[in-house]
Structure 1
Amino acid sequence: MPEGDNVWQTAQRLHAALAGRLLTQSDLRVPRFATADLTGRSVLDVTPRGKHLLTRIEGGLTLHSHLRMDGSWQVYDAGERRRGGPEHQIRAILGNAEHTAVGYRLPVLELLRTADEDQVVGHLGPDLLGPDWDPATAVAHLVADPTRPLGEALLDQRILAGLGNVYKSELAFLARVTPWLPVGELPPGTPERLVATARRLLETNKDRPHRRTTATGSQLLYVYGREGRPCPRCGTPVRKADQGDGSRRRPTYWCPRCQSGPTS
Protein backbone atom coordinates (compact mmCIF):
# COMPACT_ATOMS: atom_id res chain seq x y z
CA MET A 1 0.00 0.00 0.00
CA PRO A 2 1.85 3.14 -1.17
CA GLU A 3 2.22 5.82 1.50
CA GLY A 4 4.48 8.83 1.73
CA ASP A 5 7.63 6.81 2.41
CA ASN A 6 6.98 4.52 -0.59
CA VAL A 7 6.33 7.49 -2.85
CA TRP A 8 9.55 9.14 -1.65
CA GLN A 9 11.49 5.97 -2.52
CA THR A 10 9.85 5.82 -5.94
CA ALA A 11 10.80 9.44 -6.59
CA GLN A 12 14.42 8.72 -5.69
CA ARG A 13 14.58 5.77 -8.10
CA LEU A 14 13.00 7.76 -10.91
CA HIS A 15 15.23 10.76 -10.27
CA ALA A 16 18.38 8.62 -10.32
CA ALA A 17 17.34 6.97 -13.59
CA LEU A 18 15.96 9.98 -15.47
CA ALA A 19 17.21 13.31 -14.15
CA GLY A 20 19.80 15.07 -16.27
CA ARG A 21 19.25 12.80 -19.28
CA LEU A 22 17.52 13.32 -22.61
CA LEU A 23 14.35 11.34 -23.19
CA THR A 24 14.66 9.01 -26.17
CA GLN A 25 11.31 7.33 -25.51
CA SER A 26 8.00 8.87 -24.46
CA ASP A 27 4.66 7.09 -24.43
CA LEU A 28 1.71 8.37 -22.38
CA ARG A 29 -1.09 5.84 -22.70
CA VAL A 30 -4.03 7.94 -21.58
CA PRO A 31 -6.35 9.39 -24.21
CA ARG A 32 -5.92 13.04 -23.28
CA PHE A 33 -2.13 12.97 -23.62
CA ALA A 34 -1.60 10.11 -26.06
CA THR A 35 -0.21 12.44 -28.73
CA ALA A 36 2.22 14.24 -26.41
CA ASP A 37 5.85 13.68 -27.40
CA LEU A 38 8.51 14.42 -24.78
CA THR A 39 11.46 12.92 -26.65
CA GLY A 40 14.46 15.19 -27.00
CA ARG A 41 13.71 16.96 -23.70
CA SER A 42 15.74 16.53 -20.52
CA VAL A 43 14.17 15.40 -17.25
CA LEU A 44 15.07 18.04 -14.68
CA ASP A 45 14.01 16.28 -11.48
CA VAL A 46 11.46 13.97 -9.92
CA THR A 47 9.95 15.36 -6.73
CA PRO A 48 7.51 13.73 -4.30
CA ARG A 49 4.74 15.82 -2.75
CA GLY A 50 2.83 13.78 -0.20
CA LYS A 51 1.58 10.83 -2.25
CA HIS A 52 2.00 12.67 -5.56
CA LEU A 53 4.92 12.44 -8.00
CA LEU A 54 6.04 15.44 -10.06
CA THR A 55 8.39 14.66 -12.94
CA ARG A 56 9.64 18.00 -14.19
CA ILE A 57 10.72 18.15 -17.81
CA GLU A 58 12.64 20.70 -19.85
CA GLY A 59 10.39 23.28 -21.45
CA GLY A 60 8.28 24.03 -18.39
CA LEU A 61 6.34 20.76 -18.29
CA THR A 62 5.48 18.45 -15.39
CA LEU A 63 4.21 14.89 -15.60
CA HIS A 64 1.98 14.42 -12.56
CA SER A 65 1.19 10.92 -11.35
CA HIS A 66 -0.43 9.33 -8.29
CA LEU A 67 -0.16 5.67 -7.32
CA ARG A 68 -3.24 5.39 -5.08
CA MET A 69 -3.74 1.70 -4.17
CA ASP A 70 -2.33 -0.28 -7.09
CA GLY A 71 -0.14 1.96 -9.20
CA SER A 72 3.63 1.66 -9.47
CA TRP A 73 6.64 2.97 -11.36
CA GLN A 74 9.30 0.43 -12.25
CA VAL A 75 12.79 1.29 -13.50
CA TYR A 76 14.63 -1.03 -15.91
CA ASP A 77 18.07 -0.94 -17.45
CA ALA A 78 18.08 -0.51 -21.23
CA GLY A 79 17.09 -3.81 -22.80
CA GLU A 80 16.02 -5.39 -19.50
CA ARG A 81 12.84 -7.48 -19.55
CA ARG A 82 9.85 -5.74 -17.95
CA ARG A 83 8.28 -7.53 -15.01
CA GLY A 84 5.88 -5.01 -13.51
CA GLY A 85 2.73 -6.35 -15.15
CA PRO A 86 1.11 -7.11 -18.49
CA GLU A 87 1.47 -4.67 -21.36
CA HIS A 88 -2.16 -3.51 -21.17
CA GLN A 89 -1.57 -2.17 -17.62
CA ILE A 90 1.16 0.23 -18.75
CA ARG A 91 0.10 3.87 -18.63
CA ALA A 92 3.44 5.63 -19.20
CA ILE A 93 6.93 4.96 -20.55
CA LEU A 94 9.83 7.38 -20.18
CA GLY A 95 13.18 6.18 -21.48
CA ASN A 96 16.71 7.35 -22.12
CA ALA A 97 19.85 5.64 -23.39
CA GLU A 98 20.45 3.90 -20.05
CA HIS A 99 17.13 3.38 -18.30
CA THR A 100 13.41 2.99 -18.92
CA ALA A 101 10.78 4.02 -16.37
CA VAL A 102 7.41 2.29 -16.79
CA GLY A 103 4.25 3.34 -14.96
CA TYR A 104 1.79 0.52 -14.31
CA ARG A 105 -1.89 0.91 -13.37
CA LEU A 106 -1.50 4.63 -12.71
CA PRO A 107 -4.96 5.98 -11.85
CA VAL A 108 -3.76 9.58 -12.23
CA LEU A 109 -1.47 10.67 -15.06
CA GLU A 110 -1.51 14.14 -16.53
CA LEU A 111 0.84 16.52 -18.29
CA LEU A 112 0.67 20.15 -17.22
CA ARG A 113 2.76 23.28 -17.10
CA THR A 114 5.21 23.32 -14.21
CA ALA A 115 3.87 26.77 -13.35
CA ASP A 116 0.46 25.15 -12.77
CA GLU A 117 1.57 22.45 -10.31
CA ASP A 118 -0.46 24.09 -7.55
CA GLN A 119 -3.58 23.03 -9.41
CA VAL A 120 -2.83 19.40 -8.50
CA VAL A 121 -0.88 19.66 -5.22
CA GLY A 122 -1.71 23.12 -3.88
CA HIS A 123 -4.49 21.73 -1.71
CA LEU A 124 -2.14 19.50 0.27
CA GLY A 125 -1.25 20.12 3.89
CA PRO A 126 2.30 20.11 5.27
CA ASP A 127 4.35 17.38 3.61
CA LEU A 128 5.76 15.03 6.25
CA LEU A 129 8.84 14.42 4.09
CA GLY A 130 9.00 17.82 2.47
CA PRO A 131 11.76 20.41 2.87
CA ASP A 132 9.19 22.97 4.04
CA TRP A 133 7.79 20.77 6.84
CA ASP A 134 6.07 22.90 9.49
CA PRO A 135 4.94 20.98 12.61
CA ALA A 136 3.02 23.92 14.09
CA THR A 137 0.91 24.25 10.94
CA ALA A 138 0.38 20.48 10.89
CA VAL A 139 -0.91 20.46 14.48
CA ALA A 140 -3.19 23.43 13.77
CA HIS A 141 -4.67 21.58 10.77
CA LEU A 142 -5.14 18.38 12.78
CA VAL A 143 -7.13 20.00 15.57
CA ALA A 144 -9.10 22.42 13.37
CA ASP A 145 -12.23 20.22 13.43
CA PRO A 146 -12.57 18.83 16.97
CA THR A 147 -15.51 16.60 16.03
CA ARG A 148 -13.68 14.68 13.34
CA PRO A 149 -12.52 11.11 14.13
CA LEU A 150 -8.76 10.90 14.44
CA GLY A 151 -8.37 8.22 11.75
CA GLU A 152 -10.25 10.27 9.18
CA ALA A 153 -8.23 13.38 10.02
CA LEU A 154 -4.93 11.52 9.64
CA LEU A 155 -5.93 10.29 6.18
CA ASP A 156 -6.99 13.74 4.96
CA GLN A 157 -4.12 14.90 2.75
CA ARG A 158 -5.25 18.50 3.22
CA ILE A 159 -4.25 18.17 6.88
CA LEU A 160 -1.05 16.12 6.58
CA ALA A 161 0.39 14.98 3.26
CA GLY A 162 1.81 11.47 3.16
CA LEU A 163 -0.10 9.32 5.63
CA GLY A 164 -2.15 6.30 4.59
CA ASN A 165 -4.08 3.50 6.20
CA VAL A 166 -1.07 1.71 7.69
CA TYR A 167 0.23 4.75 9.51
CA LYS A 168 -3.27 5.73 10.59
CA SER A 169 -3.69 2.52 12.57
CA GLU A 170 -0.13 2.50 13.90
CA LEU A 171 -0.21 6.13 15.06
CA ALA A 172 -3.50 5.63 16.89
CA PHE A 173 -2.04 2.58 18.63
CA LEU A 174 1.06 4.49 19.68
CA ALA A 175 -1.17 7.29 21.02
CA ARG A 176 -3.27 4.69 22.94
CA VAL A 177 -6.54 5.96 21.44
CA THR A 178 -8.89 4.45 18.87
CA PRO A 179 -9.05 5.89 15.35
CA TRP A 180 -12.72 6.80 16.02
CA LEU A 181 -11.94 9.16 18.91
CA PRO A 182 -12.85 12.76 17.98
CA VAL A 183 -9.74 14.88 17.64
CA GLY A 184 -11.09 17.32 20.22
CA GLU A 185 -11.08 14.56 22.85
CA LEU A 186 -7.40 13.70 22.49
CA PRO A 187 -5.49 14.05 25.78
CA PRO A 188 -3.45 17.25 26.16
CA GLY A 189 -0.21 17.17 24.19
CA THR A 190 -1.30 14.20 22.06
CA PRO A 191 -1.77 16.11 18.77
CA GLU A 192 1.79 17.43 19.03
CA ARG A 193 3.17 13.97 19.80
CA LEU A 194 1.16 12.40 16.96
CA VAL A 195 2.53 14.86 14.43
CA ALA A 196 6.10 14.44 15.70
CA THR A 197 5.79 10.65 15.65
CA ALA A 198 4.35 10.65 12.14
CA ARG A 199 7.27 12.73 10.89
CA ARG A 200 9.82 10.52 12.68
CA LEU A 201 8.36 7.27 11.34
CA LEU A 202 8.23 8.42 7.73
CA GLU A 203 11.72 9.89 7.92
CA THR A 204 13.05 6.62 9.33
CA ASN A 205 11.19 4.39 6.87
CA LYS A 206 11.96 6.34 3.70
CA ASP A 207 15.37 4.63 3.55
CA ARG A 208 14.23 1.14 4.56
CA PRO A 209 13.22 -1.70 2.24
CA HIS A 210 10.44 -2.71 4.67
CA ARG A 211 8.31 -0.35 6.72
CA ARG A 212 8.75 -0.66 10.49
CA THR A 213 6.91 1.11 13.30
CA THR A 214 8.04 -1.18 16.13
CA ALA A 215 11.33 -0.56 17.90
CA THR A 216 12.93 -3.99 17.62
CA GLY A 217 12.27 -7.65 16.86
CA SER A 218 10.82 -9.52 13.91
CA GLN A 219 7.39 -7.90 14.16
CA LEU A 220 7.44 -4.83 11.92
CA LEU A 221 4.01 -3.33 12.73
CA TYR A 222 2.07 -3.13 15.99
CA VAL A 223 -1.50 -3.71 14.84
CA TYR A 224 -1.95 -3.17 11.08
CA GLY A 225 -2.72 -6.45 9.32
CA ARG A 226 -2.72 -8.36 12.62
CA GLU A 227 -6.44 -9.05 13.14
CA GLY A 228 -6.93 -11.77 15.77
CA ARG A 229 -3.29 -11.79 16.81
CA PRO A 230 -2.23 -10.70 20.29
CA CYS A 231 -1.64 -7.04 21.00
CA PRO A 232 2.09 -6.53 21.61
CA ARG A 233 1.28 -4.60 24.79
CA CYS A 234 -1.41 -6.61 26.54
CA GLY A 235 -2.07 -9.76 24.50
CA THR A 236 -5.69 -8.91 23.68
CA PRO A 237 -6.63 -9.98 20.13
CA VAL A 238 -6.33 -7.13 17.65
CA ARG A 239 -9.60 -6.15 15.99
CA LYS A 240 -10.37 -4.90 12.50
CA ALA A 241 -13.18 -2.79 11.03
CA ASP A 242 -13.69 -0.42 8.13
CA GLN A 243 -13.63 3.30 8.84
CA GLY A 244 -15.10 6.09 6.74
CA ASP A 245 -18.18 6.76 4.69
CA GLY A 246 -18.11 3.42 2.88
CA SER A 247 -17.04 4.86 -0.48
CA ARG A 248 -13.69 3.06 -0.12
CA ARG A 249 -12.50 0.19 2.05
CA ARG A 250 -10.44 1.61 4.89
CA PRO A 251 -9.43 -1.40 7.00
CA THR A 252 -8.59 -0.19 10.49
CA TYR A 253 -6.82 -2.18 13.22
CA TRP A 254 -6.76 -1.49 16.94
CA CYS A 255 -6.51 -3.07 20.37
CA PRO A 256 -9.84 -2.86 22.23
CA ARG A 257 -8.08 -2.89 25.60
CA CYS A 258 -5.03 -0.65 25.12
CA GLN A 259 -6.71 2.04 23.04
CA SER A 260 -9.38 4.18 24.66
CA GLY A 261 -12.28 5.75 22.82
CA PRO A 262 -15.23 4.74 20.66
CA THR A 263 -15.01 1.92 18.13
CA SER A 264 -16.69 1.32 14.78
Structure 2
Amino acid sequence: MDESLFGQESEHTRVESLFLRGRNILLTRADFAPLIEQWRAHMQKHHLDAPVELQNLFQRALGCFTLHCVSRPRRQTLSWTINFQEPLTNLFLVGDTDEDTVAGRIFTENVAEAEYNSFYQEVGKRGEEPYRSFVDFEGRDPIHAAQEYYQRSEQRPARFFQLSETQFALLSAHPDWNRDWFYRVQEDDIMRLDDLEDLHTIETRFVKWECGCNDQRIFAALEPVFRHQADELFAGDDIITVNCPRCAAKYGVTREALEGWCALQDQ
Protein backbone atom coordinates (compact mmCIF):
# COMPACT_ATOMS: atom_id res chain seq x y z
CA MET A 1 0.00 0.00 0.00
CA ASP A 2 1.19 3.48 -0.78
CA GLU A 3 1.33 5.13 2.63
CA SER A 4 1.94 8.54 1.04
CA LEU A 5 -1.67 8.62 -0.14
CA PHE A 6 -2.70 8.99 3.47
CA GLY A 7 0.17 11.14 4.73
CA GLN A 8 -0.27 13.11 7.95
CA GLU A 9 1.06 16.60 8.57
CA SER A 10 0.29 17.00 12.27
CA GLU A 11 -1.23 15.25 15.25
CA HIS A 12 -4.58 15.86 13.55
CA THR A 13 -5.95 13.37 11.07
CA ARG A 14 -5.76 14.65 7.50
CA VAL A 15 -8.93 13.76 5.58
CA GLU A 16 -9.10 14.35 1.83
CA SER A 17 -12.20 14.74 -0.33
CA LEU A 18 -11.64 14.19 -4.06
CA PHE A 19 -14.05 14.07 -6.99
CA LEU A 20 -13.68 11.32 -9.59
CA ARG A 21 -14.17 13.12 -12.88
CA GLY A 22 -16.08 11.05 -15.39
CA ARG A 23 -17.49 8.89 -12.60
CA ASN A 24 -19.43 11.56 -10.65
CA ILE A 25 -18.39 9.94 -7.40
CA LEU A 26 -16.86 11.55 -4.32
CA LEU A 27 -13.88 9.85 -2.65
CA THR A 28 -13.14 10.67 0.98
CA ARG A 29 -10.13 8.98 2.57
CA ALA A 30 -7.72 9.10 5.50
CA ASP A 31 -5.30 7.20 7.64
CA PHE A 32 -6.86 7.50 11.08
CA ALA A 33 -3.79 6.45 13.08
CA PRO A 34 -3.53 9.85 14.87
CA LEU A 35 -7.25 9.91 15.69
CA ILE A 36 -7.25 6.32 16.90
CA GLU A 37 -4.23 7.06 19.09
CA GLN A 38 -6.09 10.04 20.60
CA TRP A 39 -9.12 7.85 21.30
CA ARG A 40 -7.01 5.17 22.97
CA ALA A 41 -5.23 7.83 25.05
CA HIS A 42 -8.66 9.10 26.11
CA MET A 43 -9.64 5.56 27.14
CA GLN A 44 -6.47 5.18 29.18
CA LYS A 45 -6.72 8.60 30.83
CA HIS A 46 -10.23 7.96 32.08
CA HIS A 47 -9.66 4.29 32.93
CA LEU A 48 -12.22 3.11 30.39
CA ASP A 49 -12.25 -0.44 29.19
CA ALA A 50 -14.15 -2.66 26.78
CA PRO A 51 -13.60 -6.11 25.27
CA VAL A 52 -11.21 -6.13 22.32
CA GLU A 53 -14.03 -7.09 19.95
CA LEU A 54 -16.02 -3.99 20.93
CA GLN A 55 -12.95 -1.76 20.64
CA ASN A 56 -12.40 -3.10 17.11
CA LEU A 57 -16.04 -2.43 16.24
CA PHE A 58 -15.79 1.10 17.63
CA GLN A 59 -12.59 1.78 15.70
CA ARG A 60 -14.30 0.60 12.50
CA ALA A 61 -17.32 2.80 13.24
CA LEU A 62 -15.09 5.77 14.10
CA GLY A 63 -13.39 5.62 10.71
CA CYS A 64 -16.70 5.47 8.85
CA PHE A 65 -18.30 8.21 10.93
CA THR A 66 -15.39 10.62 10.50
CA LEU A 67 -15.41 10.18 6.72
CA HIS A 68 -19.16 10.78 6.79
CA CYS A 69 -18.71 14.00 8.78
CA VAL A 70 -16.06 15.31 6.42
CA SER A 71 -18.27 14.62 3.42
CA ARG A 72 -21.05 16.74 4.97
CA PRO A 73 -21.49 20.55 4.78
CA ARG A 74 -20.15 22.86 7.46
CA ARG A 75 -22.23 24.18 10.36
CA GLN A 76 -23.59 20.78 11.34
CA THR A 77 -23.39 18.58 14.41
CA LEU A 78 -24.00 14.91 13.82
CA SER A 79 -24.34 11.78 15.88
CA TRP A 80 -24.65 8.10 15.12
CA THR A 81 -26.00 5.46 17.47
CA ILE A 82 -25.36 1.95 16.17
CA ASN A 83 -27.27 -0.61 18.23
CA PHE A 84 -26.40 -4.31 18.21
CA GLN A 85 -28.74 -6.74 19.90
CA GLU A 86 -26.38 -9.70 20.19
CA PRO A 87 -24.76 -8.99 22.55
CA LEU A 88 -26.45 -5.76 23.62
CA THR A 89 -24.16 -2.89 22.64
CA ASN A 90 -24.48 0.72 21.51
CA LEU A 91 -21.71 2.48 19.63
CA PHE A 92 -22.22 6.24 19.95
CA LEU A 93 -20.34 8.82 17.87
CA VAL A 94 -20.66 12.59 17.70
CA GLY A 95 -19.02 15.15 15.44
CA ASP A 96 -18.94 18.86 14.63
CA THR A 97 -18.26 19.82 11.00
CA ASP A 98 -17.30 23.40 11.91
CA GLU A 99 -14.76 22.42 14.55
CA ASP A 100 -13.70 19.22 12.74
CA THR A 101 -13.95 17.24 15.96
CA VAL A 102 -15.28 13.78 16.73
CA ALA A 103 -15.82 11.78 19.91
CA GLY A 104 -17.84 8.85 21.13
CA ARG A 105 -18.16 5.91 23.47
CA ILE A 106 -19.22 2.29 23.86
CA PHE A 107 -22.36 1.45 25.87
CA THR A 108 -22.81 -2.07 27.26
CA GLU A 109 -25.17 -1.24 30.13
CA ASN A 110 -28.80 -0.11 30.01
CA VAL A 111 -29.01 -0.88 26.30
CA ALA A 112 -32.60 -1.34 25.17
CA GLU A 113 -33.68 -4.73 23.85
CA ALA A 114 -35.45 -4.87 20.50
CA GLU A 115 -36.27 -7.29 17.72
CA TYR A 116 -33.65 -5.85 15.38
CA ASN A 117 -30.39 -3.93 15.23
CA SER A 118 -30.87 -0.21 14.69
CA PHE A 119 -28.95 2.73 13.26
CA TYR A 120 -29.88 6.29 14.24
CA GLN A 121 -28.50 9.52 12.90
CA GLU A 122 -29.26 12.92 14.39
CA VAL A 123 -28.27 16.09 12.54
CA GLY A 124 -28.32 19.56 14.02
CA LYS A 125 -27.86 22.67 11.91
CA ARG A 126 -27.14 26.12 13.26
CA GLY A 127 -30.43 27.86 14.02
CA GLU A 128 -32.60 24.83 13.21
CA GLU A 129 -34.17 22.00 15.20
CA PRO A 130 -32.23 18.73 14.95
CA TYR A 131 -33.78 15.89 12.99
CA ARG A 132 -33.35 12.15 13.38
CA SER A 133 -33.42 9.32 10.86
CA PHE A 134 -33.42 5.56 11.42
CA VAL A 135 -32.89 2.25 9.65
CA ASP A 136 -32.69 -1.32 10.92
CA PHE A 137 -29.98 -3.69 9.72
CA GLU A 138 -28.69 -7.23 10.09
CA GLY A 139 -25.33 -8.50 11.22
CA ARG A 140 -22.61 -7.06 13.38
CA ASP A 141 -20.65 -4.77 11.09
CA PRO A 142 -20.66 -0.95 11.42
CA ILE A 143 -19.71 -0.63 7.74
CA HIS A 144 -22.75 -2.63 6.67
CA ALA A 145 -24.94 -0.58 9.03
CA ALA A 146 -23.65 2.72 7.61
CA GLN A 147 -24.13 1.56 4.02
CA GLU A 148 -27.68 0.47 4.81
CA TYR A 149 -28.32 3.93 6.23
CA TYR A 150 -27.04 5.62 3.08
CA GLN A 151 -29.06 3.37 0.80
CA ARG A 152 -32.36 3.69 2.63
CA SER A 153 -32.25 7.05 4.38
CA GLU A 154 -29.81 9.23 2.47
CA GLN A 155 -31.31 7.68 -0.68
CA ARG A 156 -27.96 7.60 -2.39
CA PRO A 157 -25.53 4.72 -2.18
CA ALA A 158 -22.19 4.81 -0.43
CA ARG A 159 -19.46 2.25 0.02
CA PHE A 160 -17.06 2.27 2.96
CA PHE A 161 -13.72 0.46 2.79
CA GLN A 162 -11.34 -0.47 5.60
CA LEU A 163 -8.07 -0.76 3.71
CA SER A 164 -5.85 -1.54 6.69
CA GLU A 165 -6.13 -1.35 10.47
CA THR A 166 -6.26 2.46 10.33
CA GLN A 167 -6.90 3.39 6.68
CA PHE A 168 -10.48 3.99 5.53
CA ALA A 169 -12.14 5.31 2.38
CA LEU A 170 -15.66 6.33 1.41
CA LEU A 171 -17.18 6.42 -2.06
CA SER A 172 -20.47 8.33 -2.30
CA ALA A 173 -22.60 8.67 -5.40
CA HIS A 174 -23.59 11.97 -6.99
CA PRO A 175 -26.08 12.67 -9.82
CA ASP A 176 -25.36 10.71 -13.01
CA TRP A 177 -22.87 8.48 -11.19
CA ASN A 178 -21.24 5.51 -12.89
CA ARG A 179 -23.24 2.72 -11.29
CA ASP A 180 -21.41 -0.24 -12.81
CA TRP A 181 -17.97 1.02 -11.80
CA PHE A 182 -19.21 1.99 -8.32
CA TYR A 183 -20.32 -1.53 -7.44
CA ARG A 184 -17.43 -3.23 -9.24
CA VAL A 185 -14.53 -1.41 -7.57
CA GLN A 186 -12.64 -3.32 -4.86
CA GLU A 187 -10.18 -2.44 -2.08
CA ASP A 188 -7.10 -2.87 -4.27
CA ASP A 189 -8.63 -0.49 -6.82
CA ILE A 190 -9.23 2.13 -4.12
CA MET A 191 -5.51 2.12 -3.28
CA ARG A 192 -4.65 2.76 -6.95
CA LEU A 193 -7.20 5.44 -7.79
CA ASP A 194 -4.53 8.14 -8.08
CA ASP A 195 -3.01 6.21 -10.97
CA LEU A 196 -6.23 4.95 -12.53
CA GLU A 197 -8.66 7.87 -12.30
CA ASP A 198 -8.87 11.62 -12.91
CA LEU A 199 -9.10 12.94 -9.33
CA HIS A 200 -9.89 16.53 -8.47
CA THR A 201 -9.22 17.67 -4.88
CA ILE A 202 -12.30 19.29 -3.35
CA GLU A 203 -10.96 20.05 0.12
CA THR A 204 -8.79 18.79 2.97
CA ARG A 205 -9.86 18.88 6.60
CA PHE A 206 -7.91 18.13 9.76
CA VAL A 207 -9.89 16.21 12.36
CA LYS A 208 -9.13 15.59 16.04
CA TRP A 209 -10.69 13.74 18.95
CA GLU A 210 -12.49 16.24 21.17
CA CYS A 211 -15.79 16.02 22.98
CA GLY A 212 -15.96 19.50 24.50
CA CYS A 213 -17.07 18.27 27.91
CA ASN A 214 -15.65 20.01 31.00
CA ASP A 215 -16.43 20.60 34.68
CA GLN A 216 -18.81 23.46 33.92
CA ARG A 217 -20.93 21.38 31.56
CA ILE A 218 -21.07 18.51 34.03
CA PHE A 219 -22.11 20.92 36.80
CA ALA A 220 -24.80 22.42 34.57
CA ALA A 221 -26.18 18.96 33.81
CA LEU A 222 -26.26 18.01 37.51
CA GLU A 223 -27.64 21.33 38.77
CA PRO A 224 -31.40 20.60 38.31
CA VAL A 225 -31.14 17.28 40.13
CA PHE A 226 -28.90 18.70 42.86
CA ARG A 227 -31.27 21.57 43.62
CA HIS A 228 -34.18 19.20 44.27
CA GLN A 229 -32.55 15.90 45.29
CA ALA A 230 -29.10 16.68 46.63
CA ASP A 231 -29.14 13.96 49.29
CA GLU A 232 -30.30 11.31 46.82
CA LEU A 233 -27.68 12.41 44.29
CA PHE A 234 -24.76 12.07 46.71
CA ALA A 235 -26.26 9.25 48.81
CA GLY A 236 -24.18 10.16 51.85
CA ASP A 237 -20.92 10.54 49.93
CA ASP A 238 -18.90 13.74 49.64
CA ILE A 239 -17.91 13.02 46.03
CA ILE A 240 -19.51 11.24 43.11
CA THR A 241 -18.07 10.12 39.79
CA VAL A 242 -19.96 11.26 36.70
CA ASN A 243 -19.37 10.00 33.17
CA CYS A 244 -19.82 12.29 30.20
CA PRO A 245 -22.75 10.90 28.19
CA ARG A 246 -20.91 11.64 24.91
CA CYS A 247 -17.39 10.32 25.50
CA ALA A 248 -17.56 8.55 28.91
CA ALA A 249 -14.88 10.83 30.43
CA LYS A 250 -14.95 10.55 34.23
CA TYR A 251 -15.41 13.60 36.45
CA GLY A 252 -15.14 13.63 40.23
CA VAL A 253 -17.77 16.05 41.56
CA THR A 254 -17.82 17.11 45.20
CA ARG A 255 -20.91 18.33 46.97
CA GLU A 256 -19.05 21.49 47.96
CA ALA A 257 -18.09 22.27 44.36
CA LEU A 258 -21.65 21.75 43.14
CA GLU A 259 -23.01 23.97 45.91
CA GLY A 260 -20.55 26.64 44.85
CA TRP A 261 -21.64 26.31 41.22
CA CYS A 262 -25.29 26.74 42.14
CA ALA A 263 -24.48 29.77 44.28
CA LEU A 264 -22.70 31.38 41.32
CA GLN A 265 -25.72 30.80 39.10
CA ASP A 266 -27.96 32.53 41.66
CA GLN A 267 -25.91 35.72 41.71
Which TM class, normalised by the smaller chain length? under 0.3
TM-score, normalization by structure 2: 0.24
